[in-house]
Amino acid sequence: ETGVTQSPTHLIKTRGQQVTLRCSSQSGHNTVSWYQQALGQGPQFIFQYYREEENGRGNFPPRFSGLQFPNYSSELNVNALLLGDSALYLCASSLAQTGENTGELFFGEGSRLTV
Amino acid sequence: DAKTTQPTSMDCAEGRAANLPCNHSTISGNEYVYWYRQIHSQGPQYIIHGLKNNETNEMASLIITEDRKSSTLILPHATLRDTAVYYCIVRVYSGNTPLVFGKGTRLSVIA
């Protein structure tokens, strides 16, 4: 148990729709990052939030967006869903002193999206 | 792209030591070696990390060669529950750099 919870665990959407995935960080953690894991592949970094601001982004288009709330929980939003967005979406939390991700990441069990 | 190379799969007998190799020949001086594992249908789990000295914790040992171009993760007494995909990652310890996962090594522990 990492203390990182994600919802929903599974969901099915239609191409062109929008989806919101949610993540509750481990208590005391102020940084959250999101990863996409396609079947048979390692997780790929989407973006990271520290103190409610995005402070790092991977090679994902703008239709992937996020939010971090004052309680450090987070959302991942994906607009205009494509078939290729089908994947396991993982949230990870960590404690950073100055926005620098120095420690280990604690992952949730993911949200599996099928488009 | 991942800066590490790992074998695609390995088998290990239950109760024996599992030795998982990783090549990282382009590692920079300020990059650490991290190991995570992912058990089926779960999120990745941190195992251990190190810079140049060998490290040991309750889960595993990490042996890093003197030139730091390769490392080995050792699970001293593998159990069936250690069956997972193991990822070797190099990453700077500070900064906003994310984890860059490759495809990892699928370890199967056999009874």
The segments of chain B whose pLDDT lies below 50 read none
- Cross-chain Cβ contact B98/A110 below 8 Å: no
pLDDT at site B74: 98
Chain A nearest-CA distance from B15, in A, is 25
**Chosen from A47, A91, A105 to mutate, greatest number of chain B CBs within 10 A:** A105
Tokens read off for A107: 């992952």
Is A109–B43 a contact, with Cβ atoms under 8 angstroms apart? Answer: yes
**What is residue A102's predicted lDDT score, i.e. its pLDDT?**
46
Mean pLDDT, range A72-93, rounded to an integer: 96
Structure-model confidence comparison of residues B35 and A1, the more confident one:
B35
DSSP A9-51: SEEE--TT--EEEEEEPPTT--EEEEEEE-TTS--EEEEEEET
Average pLDDT over residues A30-42: 93
CB contact under 8 A, A109 and B102: no
Q: Which of B35, B48, B99 should be substituted to probe chain A, the one whose Cβ sees the most A Cβ atoms within 10 Å?
A: B99
pLDDT at B94: 62
Residues A58-79 pLDDT 10s: 999 999 999 999 888 999 999 9
Residue A113: what pLDDT?
A: 98
Does position A98 have pLDDT exceeding 70, yes or no? no
3-state secondary structure chain B: CCCCECCCEEEEECCCCEEEEEECCCCCCCEEEEEEEECCCCCCEEEEEECCCCEECCCCEEEECCCCCEEEEEECCCCHHHCEEEEEEEEECCCCCCCCCCCCEEEEEEC
Going by their DSSP bridges, the two strands B55-56 and B61-64 should be labelled as: antiparallel
Confidence class for position A100, pLDDT limits 50, 70, 90: very low
The whole-number pLDDT of residue A110 equals 97
CB of A33 closer than 8 Å to CB of A104: no
Which pLDDT score, from 0 to 100, does residue B1 have? Answer: 73
- Is the Cβ of A86 closer than 8 Å to some Cβ of chain B? no
